Amino acid sequence: MARLVALNERGQRIGETHPQAKYTNLEIAEVLALRDQGMSYLEIAKVRGIPKSTVAHICRGARRCQTPARYSTVER
C-alpha cells in the first residue's frame, strides 16, 4: 500500500513522515496553539508530556520548521 510523504527542496522526508519523527503534525500544531494562548514552555511540556527543551525548539522554529516543497508516494 502506498502513502503520501512530504519532501523538502532536497528531496528529504520532513515532518511526521521522517523516519525519526517522534511527534505527529497534530501534536506539533497543538504545542504551537498552546504557546499562542500564552502558556509557558514548562506548562506545555507538562500538559503534553514532551520535554521542555523540545517544546522550546518547536516554538522557536528549530524543529519542524520546514515546509514541504513537494510530495511523493512510497510503499509501506
Within 1-76, strands assigned E span: 2-7, 70-75
Supply the pLDDT for residue 60.
94
Supply the pLDDT for residue 64.
79
- Report whether 58 contacts 16 (CB < 8 A): no
Mean pLDDT of residues grouped by 10 in the chain (76 residues)? 89 89 93 97 97 95 85 85
- H-helix or E-strand containing 30? helix 25-36
